[in-house]
Amino acid sequence: MAKSVYIHIPFCVRICTYCDFNKFYIANQPVDEYLDCLIKEMSTREDKVVETMFVGGGTPTALSEEQLEKLLRAINDLFVITKEYTFEANPDELTEAKIKLLKQYGVNRLSLGVQTFDNELLKVLGRTHHSEDIEKAVNLSRKHQIESVSLDLMFHLPGQTLKQFDDSLNKALALDVDHISSYALILEPKTQFYNLYRKGRLKLPNEDLGEEMYQHLKETLKASHLNQYEISNFAKEGHESLHNMVYWKNEEYYGFGAGAHGYINGIRYGNINPVNQYIKKIQNNELPKLQSSEVSIKEQMEEEMFLGLRMSKGVSKTKFENKFNRTIEDVFGEHVKELTSQALLIDENDFLRLSNRGQIIGNEVFERFLLS
């Protein structure tokens, strides 16, 4: 049975230049109808008691206070959340009134879409907040005793220098946050950045600088109060993202809302993206699924490796064997031997994990675990 839930709120006050998630400019959208349909879809689930809940987007804090409370009340009516309850938020939208609501309804973790503390780069990214909004949001979260606060930071941004990235890291650490997710910009199709790049109007730092930034990230946070537990994630002890670990451990979860994805009873599915089509499906008492497919044992084994290797601890050979009745050596032995000889993979005790170099070129390593 699934022990986690993802809820998608596909509305934003502004569309960021780099974002390829399912999102829509909130003005003139049927937000209240969407929430009614989302609540109706959530009521179809089998499990009431779940360990983790993650409300993402889009931007959940783009909702008005009334809409936010409507969603929070419905979640509390439909689910019992036993461990981690996360909301994504933009720093400038996280008003004190909204934080009070989140706290009142049991939210114990906030994930703030900061991306950078540099105001000029924030403009380039199309963000609506400024660096001072970040400190204000963190301080308000502490004031109202939100148990865990996480910041997202990006690197390898257009025009970004190592010094600018270092400055953002140090400002994040000075706020004594509990968790930092930091990742390189990826140019995704259908984004404003991608279109500008194709037209020759966007210049990215070279790949060597991107690797240098990642190394600097690891070294800086290693010397801090945060421990690396996944390729792009660092946390104080006890503040790791339990919800994201569900994905990396290849475990099942519900996905609700337009464009949401889920994985239930061996079936991976994705909901339709357009808000109006999602609403129409729900109002017609139809499932809003765009596609679904059974995940084969072969695919499960592949995913067990390239998702599990994202975690610093790596993949347990014992767990793999218990789950699939086959050893990693039996299925991937040749690849494991080659990758360990290249010092990209470390075989230690019961775990296979990425080396430092393996983390830097992780995608190349993961591709080796795709069975023909």
Percent of the chain at pLDDT exceeding 70: 97
Percent of the chain at pLDDT exceeding 90: 84
pLDDT of residue 192: 79
Is the pLDDT reported for residue 15 higher than 80? no
pLDDT of residue 195: 79
**pLDDT bucket at 17, cuts 50 / 70 / 90:** low
pLDDT of residue 22: 66
Alpha helix (H) residue ranges in the chain: 31-42, 65-78, 96-104, 119-125, 131-143, 162-174, 192-198, 207-222, 242-248, 275-283, 297-308, 317-324, 328-341, 356-360, 362-367
> Quick check: helix, strand or coil at residue 74?
helix
**pLDDT bucket at 194, cuts 50 / 70 / 90:** low
The 3-class secondary structure across 248-275, one letter per residue, is: HCCCCEEEECCCCEEEECCEEEEECCCH
pLDDT of residue 144: 97
DSSP, residue by residue, 21-72:
SS-EE-TT--HHHHHHHHHHHHTT-S-SEEEEEEEEES-GGGS-HHHHHHHH
Is the pLDDT reported for residue 42 higher than 70? yes
Is the pLDDT reported for residue 18 higher than 70? no
- Cα 76 to its chain centre, rounded Å, is 22
Mean pLDDT across 12-20: 70
Mean pLDDT across 202-206: 79
DSSP β-bridge partners for residue 109: 86, 148
pLDDT of residue 331: 96
What pLDDT digit, counting tens, does each position of 300-313 carry? 999 999 999 999 99
pLDDT of residue 76: 97
User: Which CATH number is correct for 4-248, 3.90.1010.10, 3.30.70.2190, 3.90.1150.10, 3.20.20.70?
Assistant: 3.20.20.70
Give the start-to-end residue ranges of the domains of the chain. 4-248, 315-367
Mean pLDDT across 27-48: 94
What pLDDT digit, counting tens, does each position of 52-70 carry? 999 999 899 999 999 999 9
pLDDT of residue 19: 65
Closest CA to 45 of 86, 5, 87, 105: 5
List the structure tokens of 185: 């910009």
Q: How many whole angstroms separate alpha carbon 331 and alpha carbon 298?
A: 9
What pLDDT digit, counting tens, does each position of 106-141 carry? 999 999 999 999 999 999 888 898 999 999 999 999
What pLDDT digit, counting tens, does each position of 308-330 carry? 999 999 999 999 999 999 999 99
Question: In whole numbers, what is the pLDDT of the chain averaged over residues?
Answer: 93
Higher pLDDT, 302 or 20: 302
List the structure tokens of 349: 């005790």
- Residue 214 half-sphere exposure toward CB, CA atoms < 13 A: 22
List the structure tokens of 238: 């006890």
Mean pLDDT across 178-203: 81
What pLDDT digit, counting tens, does each position of 271-309 carry? 999 999 999 999 999 999 999 999 999 999 999 999 999
**pLDDT bucket at 346, cuts 50 / 70 / 90:** very high
How does strand 233-235 pair with strand 179-184? antiparallel
List the structure tokens of 174: 């000075």
Q: How many whole angstroms separate alpha carbon 291 and alpha carbon 271?
A: 7
Lowest mean pLDDT among 11-15, 221-225, 244-248: 11-15
pLDDT of residue 300: 96
Higher pLDDT, 194 or 72: 72
> Quick check: helix, strand or coil at residue 184?
strand
Angle between helices 317-324 and 328-341 (to 10 degrees): 150
